[in-house]
Amino acid sequence: MSLTPRIDGDRLLGRLDAFARIGATPAGGVNRQAFSVEDRRARRLLAELALERGFTVFQDGIANLFIRREGTDATLPPFLIGSHLDSQPTGGRFDGALGTLSAFEVLEALEDARAETRMPVEVVAWANEEGSRFAPGVMGSMAFTGADTAAWKSIVGADGALLAAELEATITALPEAALRPTGMPISGYVELHIEQGPSLEKEQLPIGVVTAVQGTRWLEVSIQGTSGHAGTTDLAYRRDPMVAAIAAIHRLQTTIMPLDSSARLTVGRIAARPGSINAIPQSVAFTVDIRHPRAEQLNVIEAEVRQVCAAEAEAQHCTAVIKRSFDMPGAAFSPDMVNTVEEAARSLQLQYKQMISGAFHDALFLARVAPAAMIFVPCRDGLSHNEAEYVEPGDAVIGAHVLLRTAIMAASPR
């Protein structure tokens, strides 16, 4: 006889604590970057918990990790729930971990209750969602949904590590997880995540039902000048790429966002070569992260970045080379799956609002191959990609309840 599946809030919160210890930073966050030793430890812990419960564990060629619970109809593709376990270098405890561990809690709740679903339900921890160590991000879901990954073999990480070697080491560190091909038909996908912005907390809403994700574009700018002596080189003879880079960044930051409240532009990484205190740099490289809900605006902003960088480089007798390293158009989620999430929230008497995600997520790529949606819960002060990221325990558990209800409805359609 089956019981009504129930989320065990204490079990979920205990798991969040246990995973936060893997790669814990002194300031209370996590550093568990993709394919690192810490990332491997987190994957191992999740796989061990899954095997203890009798679930089957798989991984694919990009190190996506899957935990499967069978359904009653073996002809149906699985319904996927999950998120990611990798983090930013100074990341929070909840970005990715909340969705992954809540998805595992859902699987355990179904198992505890001996509940049947028509479709198999699989928990997935997508590989390298963050893209901070190895750009681009959302590698796992891109590969899973058919992206051409041939060029990824030669990617070198921000720390100089080779992606191919770190990926291989990550996969071989988990021999218990059988390898299966990357990509397969799925019935649908739902991801629980923290909002990473302030609106739910401000409006005192426990749930956001995500209807779309805005687009992201990443640029790599390199400004080339001439290295020279700091003490002897007269202003007239300088070709200083640092001056050009700073002028370009300042111009972009004082125009793009102030003139368009929907636009986002971030320079998160900058490096001078050779990086010597008493040498004019030979080159300065920086990244530009652009976001906008309207696809055509990404083109407009990219054109502006190119024009400003070229002009400021020229003003210093330098040259600018700009490469687009990541282009992720926004996407709308399936109205049916969004309805299912809303129905789940309503059935739990929870207030919610529909919203667009400012952050990118693996769900964006899954939405291309199956009905997908996302559930957001509030986080304190909207803070994320920050070690101080915090979610009220009760809010985390509410999110898991909505995920469970959604999964039960979606995996056993009437």
CA distance 99 to 362: 11
CA distance 209 to 230: 55
Name which position in 46, 124, 359, 402 contacts ligand GLV (CB under 6 A).
359
Tokens of 181: 């091909």
# binding residues, ligand GLV (CB under 6 A): 4
Stretch that binds Mn ion, among 91-99, 176-184, 277-285, 369-377 (CB under 5 A): 91-99
Q: Is 349 exposed, middle or buried (0-12, 13-18, 19+ CB in 10 A)?
A: exposed
Question: Nearest approach, Cβ of 103 to Mn ion (angstroms)?
Answer: 13
Of 137 and 188, the one with the shorter C-beta distance to ligand GLV is 137
Question: Nearest approach, Cβ of 294 to ligand GLV (angstroms)?
Answer: 17
Question: Nearest approach, Cβ of 296 to Mn ion (angstroms)?
Answer: 26
Question: Nearest approach, Cβ of 130 to ligand GLV (angstroms)?
Answer: 5
Q: Which of 204, 201, 191 is nearest to 400 (CA)?
A: 191
360 binds ligand GLV (CB under 6 A): yes
Tokens of 317: 């007798």
Stretch that binds Mn ion, among 17-25, 89-97, 111-119, 293-301 (CB under 5 A): 89-97
Question: Nearest approach, Cβ of 122 to ligand GLV (angstroms)?
Answer: 22
Of 117 and 132, the one with the shorter C-beta distance to ligand GLV is 132
Question: Nearest approach, Cβ of 326 to ligand GLV (angstroms)?
Answer: 10
Of 126 and 360, the one with the shorter C-beta distance to ligand GLV is 360
- Residue 225's binding partner among ligand GLV, Mn ion, none (Cβ under 5 to 8 angstroms by kind) is none
In the bound complex, which residue of the shown chain has the CB atom lying closest to ligand GLV?
359
92 binds Mn ion (CB under 5 A): no
Q: Given the DSSP bridges, would you call strands 283-292 and 215-224 parallel, antiparallel or unpaired?
A: antiparallel
Question: Nearest approach, Cβ of 411 to Mn ion (angstroms)?
Answer: 23
Question: Nearest approach, Cβ of 335 to ligand GLV (angstroms)?
Answer: 23
# binding residues, Mn ion (CB under 5 A): 2
Of 305 and 397, the one with the shorter C-beta distance to ligand GLV is 305
Of 19 and 58, the one with the shorter C-beta distance to ligand GLV is 19
195 binds ligand GLV (CB under 6 A): no
Site string for Mn ion, 93-112 (x = CB under 5 A): --xx----------------
Of 95 and 240, the one with the shorter C-beta distance to Mn ion is 95
Question: Nearest approach, Cβ of 196 to Mn ion (angstroms)?
Answer: 7
Site string for ligand GLV, 130-159 (x = CB under 6 A): x------x----------------------
Of 19 and 326, the one with the shorter C-beta distance to ligand GLV is 326
Residues that bind ligand GLV (CB under 6 A): 130, 137, 359-360
Residues that bind Mn ion (CB under 5 A): 95-96
